[in-house]
Amino acid sequence: MEQRTYNQYCATARTLDLVGERWTLLLVRELLTGPKRFGDLRASLRGLGTGLLAARLKHLEREGLARKTTLPPPARTPVYALTEAGEELAPAILELARWGMKWAMGERRPAETFHPGWTVLGLRACFVPEAAAGLRAVYEFRVGDEVFHARVDDGTIEALHGPAQHPDATITIDEDAFVALTGQGGTFAEAIATGAASVSGDAEALNRLKGLFRLPPARPRTSF
């Protein structure tokens, strides 16, 4: 398949030549949270056929944005991972996510799928560094059947799939309540206060949680 191009000597156009095709940025989004098997990507991107997924991955490999590798023992599983160039798309994708939370989200449409694992990147997009000054804590989140955790270290955050070894605090919320929370621009603190989420762990870590993540207030794109 011939790669389409804008034929413009412009950094924005050249970037869109590389990642502007449908599904490509979503593949990068998936790989920003760590290496993934082909099956993992297919499960997270429902609606993307096997053939097109393979083609998009080959494109990312060919353009130096992703590479095939193998997880270390005992897994030894073939996976796809981002290269340095691919990893540096993170700020752009996080800014797109923040823009979308403000201007594009709204209520969930009936045909839209949701994968709790997408929240790993969402935690990074909603993180408020100034609220984490001086804080060192590990938070484990359980959204439906998905478990992930965030390591906060004095204004920085590392969010990863899977359980934490020694979480300071654990937050549990079911998938429907979480979708409602994000669609309405709420916070974990509000979900805890209303009983939609339950918590356990260190009191100070839980107290600091209320300011760590903030969704921008939703705005209409048109006014009348």
The yes or no reply on domain 116-209 and CATH 3.30.1050.10 is yes
136: three-class secondary structure by DSSP: strand
pLDDT digits (tens, 9 = 90+) for 100-110: 988 998 888 88
pLDDT value at residue 190: 79
Q: Please write down the long-range contacts of 215-224, taking CB distance under 8 Å and 24 or more positions apart.
A: 215/101, 215/126, 215/182, 215/185, 215/186, 215/187, 216/98, 216/101, 216/102, 216/185, 217/102, 217/185, 218/101, 218/102, 218/103, 218/105, 218/106, 218/184, 218/185, 219/102, 219/103, 221/103, 221/104
CA atoms of 164 and 142, how far apart (whole Å): 11
CA atoms of 90 and 74, how far apart (whole Å): 29
Tokens 């989200």 sit at which residue? 105
Structure tokens, 146: 């998905």
CB 123 within 8 A of CB 97: no
| Mean pLDDT on 149-175 | 95
CB 114 within 8 A of CB 175: yes
97: three-class secondary structure by DSSP: helix
CB 64 within 8 A of CB 87: no
CA atoms of 166 and 211, how far apart (whole Å): 22
- Asked whether the predicted pLDDT for residue 1 surpasses 80, the reply is no
pLDDT value at residue 191: 83
Q: In whole angstroms, what separates CA 135 from the centre of its chain?
A: 22
CA atoms of 138 and 60, how far apart (whole Å): 33
Residue ranges covered by each domain of the chain:
11-88, 116-209
| pTM of the complete model | 0.88
- Domain 11-88: assigned CATH number: 1.10.10.10
**Mean pLDDT, all residues of the chain:** 91
DSSP letters, 149-176, are EEEEETTEEEEEES--SS-SEEEEE-HH
What percent of the chain has a predicted confidence (pLDDT) above 90?
Answer: 68
Confidence of residue 184 (pLDDT cuts 50, 70, 90): low
| Mean pLDDT on 157-185 | 88
146-153 and 136-143 strand pairing: antiparallel
CB 124 within 8 A of CB 98: no
pLDDT digits (tens, 9 = 90+) for 119-130: 899 999 999 999
Confidence of residue 181 (pLDDT cuts 50, 70, 90): confident
Confidence of residue 2 (pLDDT cuts 50, 70, 90): low
